[in-house]
Amino acid sequence: MTFNGWMQIALFCAIVLALARPLGGFLTRVYAGERTFLHPVLAPVERGFYLLAGVRCEAEQGWRSYAVAMLAFNLLGFLLVYGALRLQGALPLNPQGFAGVTPDLALNTAVSFVTNTNWQSYGGEATMSYGSQMWALTVQNFLSAATGMALAVALIRGFARRSAKEIGNFWTDLTRSILYVLLPLCVVLALVYVAMGVPQTLQPYVTAKTLEGADQTIALGPVASQLAIKMLGTNGGGFFNANSAHPFENPSALANLVQMVSIFAVGAALTNVFGRMVGDERQGWAILGAMGALFLAGVAMVYWAEAGANPIHAALGLDPAGGNMEGKEVRFGIALSALFAVITTAASCGAVIAMHDSFSAIGGMIPMVNMQLGEVIVGGVGAGLYGVLLFAIVAVFVAGLMVGRTPEYVGKKIEGREVKLTMLALLCSPAATLLALGVASVSPLGLAGLQESGPHGFSEMLYATTSAAANNGSAFAGLTANSPFWNVLLAAGMMIGRFALIVPMLAVAGSLAAKGKVPPSAGTFPTYGTLFVGLLGGVILIVGGLTYFPALTLGPVADAFATAAGTTY
């Protein structure tokens, strides 16, 4: 570990922290329908959309109607992506003449992009036409991110409102997320990326003669526009197979910093939106604090693990001072690779700049743990916030009893109904992950995709099922997942991890909104300050982590001890 490495990590954290409050203020105004500096231009556009769609933006919905609208919208999105991929061969903007995508891969990819997972069983430049990248995948990048943001705001309203039946209007929240937040930021970011050297073209791939005289095909395409939303919307689906390790998808250290910051920007700002909407910004900072503590612990562990050398390599005479550079871009090195790996898995993004499969056992375990904790360390845009609020409900319920009152969080009493729905929501991801892993580890079809045997092979499967259920989308590599078995299994995991959680979560929002607010007093358990930060972090670790203890033991933990002992499989 180097001072320089730590400074890069510190710089990243400082920028994210500095952005959280101003961006949070802006988002709060947008969702409240108040005027912002973008309104003179965009307000007529927004009204135009409502007029076209026949939406009355002031008509609010109860949680059921909100959920139905959200599900219907996502179902339509799924069908459009699936159709576009299957019919790719017949659709325009296909200069490489790619054929239609196979049914299982199209199913997997459509689910993947609708659920904001962006798990890719395919290599972009060898499978997807420019048209598919643009109208199927990039569009869905916006829509799935906006869906997550809308849902988070709906849950916040549940906490903020008193004795209300409605939690907002899905169509309005969705439109505003895209129109005022995602689109303007992405336009700016895409231009920035282009300026840094990211391609943005509809020209066919370029063929070049190398120095040895061989032909080399250089893949191009509308990369910058997809890259912008891929990061900002925590989608993570790469334009190229190598994702952000590809020089065209991540041309420089500065571009890398911009990408890292844009992964966390909206998620961190939403904690501030929460604080503002419930009328006490400290509540938001406490949540960000718990996220930040878990994040820094993860970064420190991965950085430490990767800066150390592989003992097996060292025994063979390799200089241990270089650390573990296997599978890493030399341009980014160990500190940034470690930082990026933690960011992308903490935030449900899934973009990568290094191969996590090649990390040391512990270095690869932390990204898995990040996802297994429920993607609540900043998390996916929106999804991270509603996830962490569910954990906050559990934390407050368990520990809040210890102050001798019916537990309450930001003035809302947490009672049987909320506990039931919250537990239901929190069950989804472990169920999807562990059951899928259980099936895969005894099925010849599942094992067929493995590159490694022994604990590391188990880690590859664990990572894949975790990534799907947590809607992260990053891959450990090593597992060849483009088979009907894995495509269908992971698609099921992604669906459960997203929608089976959202519905009870919205019900919590509805139930909370209907309650009155309890004014705080000296007898109320204060949900800001270090005590709550520690408590929330502890509950996330214990409730989220204990579930995966056996699986992690047989995967990365066994891997780590075996590596230390010089055992290979």
Partner 1 sequence: MSAQSRSLLDPALIAPALGSALKKLNPRELIRNPVMFAVEVVAVVATILFVRDLLAGSGAAFSGQLAVWLWLTVYFATFSEALAEGRGKAQADALRRTRSETVAKRLTGKSNAYEEVAAPALKVGDLVLVEPGDLIPGDGEVVEGVATVDESAITGESAPVIRESGGDRSAVTGGTKVLSDHIKVRITAAAGSSFLDRMIALVEGAERQKTPNEIALTILLAGLSLIFVLATVTIPSFAAYSGGAVPVIVLVALFVTLIPTTIGGLLSAIGIAGMNRLVRFNVLAMSGRAVEAAGDVDVLLLDKTGTITLGSRQAAEFLPLPGVRASQLADAAQLASLSDETPEGRSIVVLAKAAHGLRGREIEPLDATFIPFSAQTRMSGVDIGATKIRKGAGDAVIAHVKALGGRIPDELGEIVERVAREGGTPLVVATDQRILGVVYLKDIVKGGIRERFQELRAMGIRTLMITGDNPMTAAAIAAEAGVDDFLAEATPEAKLALIRKEQEGGKLVAMCGDGTNDAPALAQADVGVAMQTGTVAAREAGNMVDLDSDPTKLIEIVGIGKQLLMTRGALTTFSIANDVAKYFAIIPAMFVALYPPLGALNVMGLASPQSAILSAIIFNALIIVALVPLALKGVSYTPSNAAALLRRNLLVYGLGGLIAPFIGIKLIDMGVAALGIA
- Residues within the interface to partner 1 (CB under 8 A): 162, 394, 397-406, 411, 414-416, 418-420, 423-424, 426-427, 430-431, 434-435, 437-439, 441-442, 447, 455, 457-458, 516-519, 521-526, 529, 531, 535, 538, 542-543, 546-551, 553-554, 557-558, 561-562, 564-565, 567
Rounded distance between C-alpha atoms, residue 137 and residue 105, angstroms: 14
DSSP secondary-structure letter at 328?
B
Instruction: In angstroms, give the least distance from the CB of 556 to partner 1.
Output: 12
Distances (CA, A) of 153 to 90, 173, 377, 520, 568: 40, 8, 18, 23, 49
Q: Which two tokens stand for residue 236?
A: 């993570």
Instruction: In angstroms, give the least distance from the CB of 290 to partner 1.
Output: 15
Instruction: In angstroms, give the least distance from the CB of 355 to partner 1.
Output: 22
Rounded distance between C-alpha atoms, residue 363 and residue 368, angstroms: 9
Instruction: In angstroms, give the least distance from the CB of 511 to partner 1.
Output: 12
User: Residue 465's Cα: distance from chain center in Å?
Assistant: 15
Our CB check for partner 1 shows the closer of 381 and 540 to be 540
Do 200 and 224 form a contact (C-beta atoms < 8 A)?
yes
Our CB check for partner 1 shows the closer of 499 and 548 to be 548
Rounded distance between C-alpha atoms, residue 405 and residue 401, angstroms: 6
Our CB check for partner 1 shows the closer of 379 and 457 to be 457
Instruction: In angstroms, give the least distance from the CB of 430 to partner 1.
Output: 6
Instruction: In angstroms, give the least distance from the CB of 177 to partner 1.
Output: 31
Instruction: In angstroms, give the least distance from the CB of 315 to partner 1.
Output: 16
At residue 354, what is the residue type? Answer: A
Q: In sequence order, which residues have a C-beta less than 8 Å from that of residue 443 and are 6 or more positions away?
A: 485
Do 265 and 385 form a contact (C-beta atoms < 8 A)?
no
Q: In sequence order, which residues have a C-beta less than 8 Å from that of residue 5 and are 6 or more positions away?
A: 303, 307, 333, 334, 335, 336
Our CB check for partner 1 shows the closer of 251 and 280 to be 280
Our CB check for partner 1 shows the closer of 80 and 399 to be 399
Report the DSSP pairing between strands 408-409 and 215-218: unpaired
Instruction: In angstroms, give the least distance from the CB of 376 to partner 1.
Output: 16
In DSSP notation, 447-462 reads HTT-S--HHHHHHHHH
Coil, helix or strand at residue 206: strand
Our CB check for partner 1 shows the closer of 300 and 427 to be 427
Our CB check for partner 1 shows the closer of 163 and 210 to be 163
Our CB check for partner 1 shows the closer of 202 and 546 to be 546
E strand or H helix at 349: none
Q: How many helices (H) and strands (E) does the chain have?
A: 25, 4
Phi, psi at 222, each rounded to 5°: -75, 75
Distances (CA, A) of 497 to 115, 393, 432: 9, 19, 7
User: Residue 108's Cα: distance from chain center in Å?
Assistant: 17
Instruction: In angstroms, give the least distance from the CB of 552 to partner 1.
Output: 10
Instruction: In angstroms, give the least distance from the CB of 536 to partner 1.
Output: 12
Q: Which two tokens stand for residue 226?
A: 């997809």
Instruction: In angstroms, give the least distance from the CB of 412 to partner 1.
Output: 10
At residue 236, what is the residue type? Answer: G
Instruction: In angstroms, give the least distance from the CB of 561 to partner 1.
Output: 4
Phi-psi region of 200 (alpha: psi -120 to 50; beta: other; left: phi over 0): beta
Rounded distance between C-alpha atoms, residue 569 and residue 563, angstroms: 10
Our CB check for partner 1 shows the closer of 314 and 435 to be 435
Neighbours of 52 (CB within 10 A): 8
User: Residue 209's Cα: distance from chain center in Å?
Assistant: 39
DSSP secondary-structure letter at 500?
I
Do 146 and 121 form a contact (C-beta atoms < 8 A)?
no
Burial class (CB in 10 A: 0-12, 13-18, 19+), 17: middle
Our CB check for partner 1 shows the closer of 69 and 558 to be 558
Instruction: In angstroms, give the least distance from the CB of 253 to partner 1.
Output: 39
Rounded distance between C-alpha atoms, residue 440 and residue 462, angstroms: 9
Instruction: In angstroms, give the least distance from the CB of 530 to partner 1.
Output: 10
Rounded distance between C-alpha atoms, residue 225 and residue 189, angstroms: 8
Phi, psi at 530, each rounded to 5°: -65, -35
